[in-house]
Homo-oligomer: A and B are copies of this chain.
Amino acid sequence: MPLSVPSDIEIASSVKPRPIVDVARDLGLTADDLELYGKHKAKLPLDVTLQPVRGRLVLVTAINPTPAGEGKSTVAVGLSQALRRLSVNAVLCMREPSLGPVFGVKGGAAGGGYSQVIPMADINLHFTGDFHAIASAHSLLSAMLDNHLQQGNPLNIDTRRITWPRTIDMNDRALRHAVIGLGGAANGVVREERWVIIPASEIMAIVALSTSRENLEHRLGQIIVGANVTKSPVRARDLKASGAMALLLKDAISPNLVQTLEGGPAILHAGPFGNIAHGCNSIVATRAGLALADVVVTEAGFGSDLGAEKFFDIKCRVGGLNPEAAVLVATVRSLKMQGGRTSSSSAFPLSSRSTVSSPTRKRS
């Protein structure tokens, strides 16, 4: 890369963001409608998502990706920026990044180059606390489950058949397989445990699929935490956990408003992984966009075969969404790789000549 190309963070830092109140005004919202998180982030009111759809939905997907990704996010951000330059009232809807990969080799995820979402650092770190709230709700269910075992296990849960993991928003391989509850009778029941990263938490998928607070709490109650000794499923509602979990998610269920590098509105909300979940931003975020703008540009994780399919088959059905167009990102690099060339990055010295820019940091 020529030295004259600034880094993502240099580009992000070079722009003075608009007050988020101004960005919201473009969408017809007042300061009173917002819950501010500093001057450049805000929560949208959840009832916006119940307003009539006025916008048209465009999906950005991609050819089968390479390990580095093929630029869906960059194209999506750029497309929404281009539409606004054409005076189209467009809004971008994307996932929130996870803290784990931010500190790992993959880095954060908010586009790249001149197609970014800002404020970059805030978005990549704690943002508006959604992932922390999801972690708290997840951890509460874990703690209530183990406390149930400790208090005599009246539901007869089979400790060998617990499927609910613990979670942490960190890349932490030493927690993939653990034993908990050691230290005698006062310290819980001994059992095997595993931690998953927040984007792999079922609660992340639930937040992304929920259509209202009531629906959220219902879905939380449906979570299967394991099997009892007769191999029947035991659910979060059997542990009477769903009310407290929903309380912990009372703010996290609302979509977040930030802006693109060019000051256009961007709604970032939820971030389920595309490999194990459906890999899309939340339904309430997309519905908020459709209620507030004429065109909504959104994205689905991984390639068209996996991500777009899940988007159409799961998210659109659950959310009552009708996409009207799809943009397919294709690169020479991916064509080479899917065609049998080795996946070594050194095998693609010229592949940056693809039609889209090449983000070097991607989440899965």
Contacts and interface: CB of A to CB of B under 8 A. Distances in A.
Interface of A: 35-39, 43, 99, 103, 125-126, 129, 132-133, 135-136, 139-140, 142-143, 146-147, 149-150, 152, 158-161, 168-193, 229, 244, 247-248, 250-251
Given A160-B189, A175-B180, A179-B179, 13 more contacts: A35-B39, A125-B136, A126-B133, A129-B129, A132-B132, A132-B136, A143-B172, A146-B173, A146-B174, A152-B229, A160-B184, A177-B181, A178-B181
Contact of A160 (B36, B161, B190): B190
Contacts of A250: 125
Contact of A37 (B37, B125, B139, B152): B37
A99 B135 CA distance: 12
Nearest to A127: B129
Contacts of A149: 174
A190 B192 contact: yes
Given A143-B171, A172-B146, A173-B150, A182 B184 contact: no
Nearest to A37: B37
Residue from the set A149, A161, A189 with the largest chain B CB neighbour count within 10 Å = A189
Nearest to A35: B38
